[in-house]
Amino acid sequence: MNWDQIEGKWKQFSGKAKEKWGRLTDDDLTTISGKRDQLVGKLQERYGMAKDQAEHQIDEFSHSLNDAGVTSEQHKSHKAGY
């Protein structure tokens, strides 16, 4: 899933982000508001990781949303021509 889709549905995906990165607070997730660069910064701050490591984890997170079938309904609608 590309980041624009995640950003557009951040309220839906923020719970999954909190599951993955439990040190992020609800305030952090609100502040991030789907902005990838904000998430990178918060991961660096909360976990003390390098920027490239944070970006790698975010890439894995976005791929995991696809793997989990989060967008399966969108794909079904697209294939059906809706």
pLDDT (tens digit, 9 = 90+) per residue, 49-72?
999 999 999 999 999 988 776 654
pLDDT in tens, 11-32: 999 999 999 999 999 999 999 9
| 53 or 78: which leads in pLDDT | 53
- Residue environment code for 32-52, b if the CB has 16+ CB neighbours within 10 A, otherwise e: bebebeebbbbbeeeeeeeee
Domain locations in the chain?
Answer: 3-67
CA 78/CA 71 separation, integer angstroms: 11
CATH superfamily of domain region 3-67: YjbJ (1.10.1470.10)
